[in-house]
Chains A and B, each alone.
Chain A
Amino acid sequence: MIKSMRQSTLETIGLGSVHSIFSKGKLPVNAAEQVDKVFGPVGNRGSLVISGANGIVGAGKLMQFGSRLKDYNIPIVALDFPGAPDGITPQYKGLASSFGKKNADEIMANVIRLNYDGNNLPSLLKSLNPKFLLEAIPEILNVKKAHFELFRSNFPGIEIRSVTSGFPSKELGVGIYHPAFPHQINKIWEVVENEPSEITKLLWALGMIPMAVSDEWSFVLDVLFCGLMVSALRYNRATNIPFWKIDKYIRKFFGPNPFRAHDVIGAKGANFLTWNCLHDLSTKYGDLFAPTEALVEHKDSGQNWYPLNHLRPMVNTTIDAAGSMQFNIWILGSLFQMTSLMIHEKRSHFSIMNSVGELCAQFRKGTLALMRNMGAEQSKRIVEAYHKLHPEAALNAWHPEALDNLDSNDWKQLYVNAEHDGEVGVITLGREAYNDDVNAELNRAIDWLKAENIHKVILTGDFHLTTQLVGADTNEFFPALDHHNIGYRISYQWSKTARRLYHEFETSVAFINGKRCLGGMLELFQHCHYIVTDDDSDLGAPEVNLPVVPGMEMCHLPFRRTGSDNWAKLIKLLLEGRSVKGKDTVGWLTDYSAQGEAAIKMAWELASKGELAMPKRKIHESSLYIPSFYPTAPTENKNILEARKAIMDTILASCGANYHEALKVQSECSAKFMTSDLCRKGFVGQEAEKTMNV
């Protein structure tokens, strides 16, 4: 019996709990088995058909499936009208750049381009035995339905999914796989199915991120993205602040650039899709979603939102403090109301709803996290203030009661979950970048496990929303550029949380899988008693390249847990910023490395048996003498040299202190560096300037 703080998102796609992955020592499904289930066994493989394959979605998904199915010899049929402009060939360049020419050629070798007239399928298609149709044709309901009927009548039993951005499954009569832009690389799909299907599990097994959402007019991503767009357009209508400037403010306060995104995707198509989505939503939910005149005009004209290059803006429209408040009411009030509607309708797991905003719509924090951090009463007040500006929105689709359970774990644990079987706990991180929210949730997860009397724990990604762990969320550092105390607080508090993993559990095991584990996340994992990694995961400390000074004790903790003969490797890792494969880190950065399920099994064994399975690497608590010179790869980049010096100084200072004092020493060094000119000139400083200086 597994008990959890909240439901695992993995369960929403029929793949069980993360805990069961470890306890069973295997992943719930694997790609080869799922390919067999969906396309038939080797020797009798069917094909994947993508219709509308020359469109932006169709061509992008063709590349994504092509690259992931290449090793399974699945023919991919690219179906489109004879006169459709070629959208596939232009993808080749990107494919070759990502996978190399040889792989790209092999991927393209599996692509079979067929034309049809819209009414009759090509006879050749039968010989390719279509098993799965991914429909990416234009958003016209009757055309789509006729298309499905055509396939069903020719290929009874074929699985069909639509990439529609708005029609519900009940209207289409097929399941939905709604993808997120950019389609070649974005792994997220909003999935509408009665029950999780074998194809959905295949997507997961292929490394994509299917997210279960409910069957409504427009899905979570479109409600958030199109909703943000219409909120921004209303603000434009009320204030005349130009679109480009509103975009900058939205980026500053929330993260996305909705107007730029439309232009980048292609204004003609994107404007129509946004209008179409809002039109459908407003038909059902009223004025909250009603498209504005400007959107109608841009939909009809296909015009970009940003000014033409020769008309770069001339009059500064920067808003003052009062204007910022009004801006927040227009945007947040509207978004909070939309989120209340989605919660009321139970459109998805809270973490998924929140993550869709972050991973697909580029919100720095998802709307649920924003509301939670603001509190129910303040969130409601913002919506009420918005209704004073836009009274028609108050008439429908406002569900303040949806905010009444902010104390539930569904709200409180958007990013971090904890599960246990009474003996071993698993803490899962559902966010790829560490921030204050993750830090607070991790503390609550630790508290919960302790309250449940759990003394053994595995810390890992969530096998769903995180496919890698990239480090600290550098957005959190922006205020630290000007305020030493903020940098210190971040470093000190996050490190204190990380230390709990070591001091408050009998055994803690960090499990690293996925593509990479970098920076702050690797630092966090260093605090566990054991670190188990997949052979192929990249581990690294890229801070020197930003540059920042590591703040979660990477500059002394790993030194205290390995012999001096390994220090050169640690210093190389910290000063050169290059990643190393998991299999090359055992003994100096990690404790065990293996391929896939073998690593999972070892993580479970270590968590269950502790030192009976493997002795722990102890922390050397007194000060260490670290020689001040180790050879590193030469560079003439003065900034890198200066950053290396700052990191080396931190290593010397924090290792020179005892383990207890080192926490403060490292926090001080990290905070001090963040206020330096070098940090301001680097990635963090430039991003802060670009984002915050509107």
Chain B
Amino acid sequence: MNVESIFPKAHIPYGTWGASYFPAWQSSPLAEVNIGQFAGEAMAYIMGKRKVPMNSLDYLVSGSTIPWHWKFWGSPFLASCAGQRVPGYHLEQACATGLKAIFAAAGAVQGGLANVSGVLTFDRTSDSPVGVFPERRSYERTVALSDVWDNFGFDPATGGAMIATAGNAARKHKIDRKEVDELTFLRYKQYFQALDSGFLAKVLVPLEVLNLQGKVMGKIDSDAGVRSISLEALHSQRELDTCVTSGTQTHASDGMATMLVTTKEKARELSSQPDIDIQIIGLVEARALPSLMAEAPAMAVKKLLQQTGLTMNDIAVVKDHNPFAVNDAIFAKELNYDWHNMNKTGCPLVWGHPQGPTLTRLSIEALQETVDLGGGYALVFGCAAGDVGIAGIFKVSEGGKA
């Protein structure tokens, strides 16, 4: 089935992408540096590896969710860190950021705002900054808020914690703990297969972080903290909420991801394999009822399939941003889809949750996997704070032919 893109002028040049590895919270030098500067410099380095001169870019859409030093300056500052003074803007919508940034860049190309727009997403959950907010109506008068942990623990719209949204949805959809453990076990197996096969090395770029004296203070060359886990171990873990254990939910991590969106002509010029054409077909967002975030992704996918006229049978690669394993289980149940067939090259449940870049990395992995399969549609979706689901579909030309 052939479906028109919502951004027919926007194309993603194959291979002009990459992400850092995502080391777990507090486990790498990323815990101690300005993640914005790191992301900007890493983008230039990755693009250099991909043989894309930074001066090809004329726009930058950036995204992150956790306050960082000098965030006020947004995309222009990040572009300067990458060595290219271009305009752009910064966007933020929790874990939806990584996918929304790609579509925003596509919109910029479609609308003529940009010829080549960079996408740069990043976050540092480690050493989460603490905001101090004067609040005259609160009894404390001044509220101090640890950006990551306090927000995870409390949705101001519902009064509930993030973890409760998974438990609520699991109960609503009658998800079985045993199935969730088995699903999680498979996800780890899929990740290590992707790692061992060299797949991840195609999309992830090892980076070294320098100290003030210019000496290497550490390497970002693995998804540090990810360890294989047995089914027995998963079964033995204490349930924190329905179907949610420490093993069946993700962990906080740090990292960045980057890619390009441009015109068809320019994509052919920039890509190492110009015959591969990648387009953005569609994007939707949905919002579940209060505290049911884990079912929102399935809602978004249903809506997107309806909009595009595609079915799950048309999709070659399915990748879900699944901070809770129940997300995958609910999606499979709702879409009548075998969860064994998705997230084959890794997913955030395993490699972590740095928020801003999560869905960008997931998209890059999905596109690489689709290219490796010879083309087709790639479905990338996930949940985001506020009981939001987001889903997007990309199209990779069949057999590398446009």
Contacts and interface: CB of A to CB of B under 8 A. Distances in A.
A312 interface: yes
Contact of B55 (A242, A294, A313, A315): A294
Contacts of A317: 45, 48
B94 interface: no
Interface in B239-265: none
Contacts of A632: none
A315 B210 contact: yes
B38 A241 contact: no
Nearest to A694: B214
B33 to A, nearest CB: 6
A595 interface: no
A237 interface: yes
A32 interface: no
B53 A316 contact: no
B210 A313 contact: yes
Contacts of B47: 240
Interface in B294-325: none
Nearest to B29: A314
A240 B43 CA distance: 9
B48 A240 contact: yes
Contacts of B34: 314
A595 to B, nearest CB: 50
Contacts of A316: 207-210, 216
Nearest to B80: A311
A293 interface: yes
For B34, B54, B214, the residue with the greatest tally of chain A CB atoms inside 10 Å of its CB is: B214
A312 B214 contact: yes
B24 to A, nearest CB: 20
A614 interface: no
A220 B53 CA distance: 31
A251 B208 CA distance: 22
Nearest to B212: A312
A315 B212 contact: no
Contacts of A146: none
Interface string A222-261: 0000000000000011111110000000000000000000
Contacts of B214: 312-313
Interface residues of A, number: 18
A195 B48 CA distance: 51
Contacts of B226: none
A297 interface: yes
Interface string A612-644: 000000000000000000000000000000000
A311 B85 CA distance: 15
Given A313-B214, A315-B207, A316-B216, A240 B37 contact: no
Interface of B is mostly: mixed
A240 B216 contact: no
A109 B44 CA distance: 55
A315 B208 CA distance: 6
B83 interface: yes
Interface string B185-212: 0000000000000000000000111101
A323 to B, nearest CB: 9
Given A312-B212, A315-B207, A240 B83 contact: yes
B42 interface: yes
Contacts of B155: none
A237 B83 CA distance: 10
Contact of B53 (A240, A311, A314): A240
By size class, the interface of chain B is 20 to 34
Contact of B37 (A241, A294, A297, A314): A314
Contacts of A293: 55
Interface in B30-75: 33-34, 37-38, 41-42, 44-45, 47-48, 51-55
Contacts, number: 55
B210 A237 contact: no
B81 interface: yes
A315 B45 contact: yes
A240 B208 contact: no
Nearest to B50: A240
Contacts of A318: 208
Nearest to A313: B210
A611 to B, nearest CB: 60
B209 A240 contact: no
Nearest to B69: A310
A161 B37 CA distance: 49
- Among the interface residues B45, B209, B212, which one has the most CB atoms of the partner chain A within 10 A? B45
B37 A311 contact: yes
A392 to B, nearest CB: 15
Contacts of B208: 315-316, 318
Nearest to A248: B214
A616 to B, nearest CB: 55
A314 B41 contact: yes
B48 A239 contact: yes
Contact of B41 (A237, A238, A313): A313
A238 B50 CA distance: 11
Contacts of B85: 297
Contact of A242 (B53, B83, B207, B216): B83
Contacts of B216: 316
B210 A314 contact: yes
Given A239-B48, A240-B48, A242-B83, A315 B42 contact: yes
A315 B41 contact: yes
A295 to B, nearest CB: 12
Contacts of B53: 237-240
B155 to A, nearest CB: 34
Contacts of A237: 53, 55
Interface in A285-315: 293-294, 297, 311-315
27 contacts: A236-B83, A238-B53, A239-B48, A240-B54, A240-B82, A240-B83, A241-B48, A242-B41, A242-B44, A294-B55, A297-B85, A311-B81, A312-B214, A313-B214, A314-B34, A314-B209, A314-B210, A315-B38, A315-B41, A315-B45, A315-B207, A315-B209, A316-B207, A316-B209, A317-B45, A317-B48, A318-B208
Given A241-B48, A314-B33, 7 more contacts: A237-B53, A312-B212, A314-B209, A314-B210, A316-B207, A316-B216, A317-B45
- CB-CB nearest 6 A-B residue pairs: A240-B48, A316-B208, A315-B41, A240-B44, A239-B48, A240-B54
